Amino acid sequence: RSTVFATIQRQVMATTIPPLRSRRVAVIGAGAAGLVAARELRREGHRVVVFERGDQVGGTWVYTSEVESDPIGIDPNRAVVHSSLYQSLRTNLPREVMGFRDYPFVRREVKGRDSRRFPGHKEVLMYLQDFTSAFEIAELVRFESEVVFAGLAESGKWRVRSITKGGVTVDEIYDAVVVCNGHYTQPHIADIPGITAWPGKQMHGHNYRTPDPFRDQVVVLIGNAASAVDISRDIATVAKEVHIAARSVEDNKLGKLPGHDNMWLHSMIDSALEDGRVVFRGGNAVCADVILHCTGYKYNFPFLQTDGTITVEDNCVGPLYKHVFPPELAPWLSFVGLPWKVVPFPLCEHQSKWIAGILSNRIALPSKEEMVEDVKAFYSSLEAFGIPKRYAHNIGPVQWDYNDWIADQCGFPVIEEWRKEMYKAASKNRTIRPESYRDEWEDHELILQAQEDFSNTAS
């Protein structure tokens, strides 16, 4: 009897835990998401090729003074510049919070490095370069190779077509594709009644680099997210006037900004007029030289061919199970880094571990039907709360639960308590000290906890 039992047990084991598999995986993009995806996929035993259209790793963090020919980025024939960084950019997260979980973003007290807690963009690029070297990821990357097509091949596998800078087309078949192409490149523009007759200049924050072109100008800047706040302050150092048009500002905050003699806060723009005036809701108007749209970005996957299985509607990429897998094509197609208002590096790290474990059969995904139901329930909950679909990937308020859920799937420790607390403290500090939060803070105790944790990671 015991032999029969052992045989049955072996059969059950064989059906419920399929053997681990190594897949051939194409990763599109070598920014933070693609780098950590490549590391996790290789760690899991997959064979990975990372396609990167640029000539180095780092994605967004590769600053360039270059801008696009169309300053608002709507000309489909313009040559695309990937990064949206401006010269003065410093991180809006403390480095302890921002870094990958098992490769902390610690200070390097050496010449040429920026040891500030909220460092400039170059330091982030150097950190990503260090990460690439530490895990020998560059050997997986094909630089100057742009993916122009990724779609299902007849075999049920994925065809990936790329073009090198020299114009050579390469056509290949992969088991799986992981999309890591970033989502801060394709500008979203505000809709302004009357704008076509307005005689001024328009630009999107994507093409903002330095304040110099705005010297002595009257600028209307639309937006109040992190980069809008930075850019308005940057421009105010040289401009005649900066008028910020922002959604959801309390009435008592409208008017001149305290501490600045040439900045005003307004409600949203009502219209732009032929005589050069920009009219705000409530009736105020200014005669402006420039309207600067700091109004966010659109998801864009020009290379992806899924015959309508995946769509971007109202800037919601879907249907996606947990913002990663399209139920219909899972696990062979996945997306890393779509959520916003989050701490991106650790989030990408979690998603990548999950994808890698699922592709090898170490971690199980629910059935297609269950995933479809989950996505439906998610969309219904957005609707029930009156949240437009374009906020579907804004998971800020639940990002830690989200990370912890994935960590649990992967058998990885949940997010450190200090990281959550520090994120909260940094957000609060930014509200209290919008001008100086990067250089003044009070969460010293949390910094010590993080450093203690990092010293354990290193040992």
**Interface residue list for ligand FAD (CB under 6 A):** 28-34, 51-54, 59-61, 82, 84-85, 89, 91-93, 98, 146-147, 180-182, 184, 227, 303, 337, 344-345
Can you spell out the DSSP letters for 143-192?
A: TTEEEEEEEE-TTSSEEEEEEETTS-EEEEEESEEEE---SSSEE-----
C-beta of 92 vs 361, nearer to ligand FAD = 92
Query: What sign does the dihedral 205-208-209-212 (CA atoms) show?
Result: negative
CB of 147 to ligand FAD, least distance (A): 4
CB of 282 to ligand FAD, least distance (A): 30
C-beta of 82 vs 293, nearer to ligand FAD = 82
**Contact, 176 vs 26, CB < 8 A?**
yes
CB-based contacts of 45: which residues, under 8 Å, 6+ apart? 20, 22, 360
C-beta of 29 vs 319, nearer to ligand FAD = 29
C-beta of 280 vs 303, nearer to ligand FAD = 303
Residue among 223, 139, 145 nearest 188 (CA): 223
Crossing angle between the packed helical segments 444-458 and 417-432, to the nearest 10 degrees: 140
Distances (CA, A) of 438 to 15, 105, 223: 54, 16, 21
Map tokens 């967004």 to a residue: 60
CB of 97 to ligand FAD, least distance (A): 8
CB of 262 to ligand FAD, least distance (A): 23
Give every strand in the sheet of 176-179, ordered side by side: 141-142, 47-51, 24-28, 176-179, 333-335
CB of 98 to ligand FAD, least distance (A): 5
Map tokens 């949203």 to a residue: 268
C-beta of 123 vs 241, nearer to ligand FAD = 123
Map tokens 């899972």 to a residue: 330
CB of 179 to ligand FAD, least distance (A): 9
CA separation for the pair 114, 120 (Å, rounded): 7
Structure tokens at 97: 């919070």
Residue 290's beta-bridge partner residues? 201, 219
C-beta of 120 vs 276, nearer to ligand FAD = 120
CB of 194 to ligand FAD, least distance (A): 29
C-beta of 37 vs 272, nearer to ligand FAD = 37
Structure tokens at 442: 């009070």
Instruction: Work out the angle at residue 306's Cα, subtended by the Cα atoms of residues 324 and 20, and round it to the nearest 5 degrees.
Output: 50
If DSSP codes are grouped into helix, strand and coil, which group holds residue 72? coil
CA separation for the pair 402, 443 (Å, rounded): 25
If DSSP codes are grouped into helix, strand and coil, which group holds residue 394? strand
C-beta of 408 vs 440, nearer to ligand FAD = 440
CB of 426 to ligand FAD, least distance (A): 11
C-beta of 29 vs 104, nearer to ligand FAD = 29
CB of 417 to ligand FAD, least distance (A): 20
CA separation for the pair 25, 45 (Å, rounded): 11
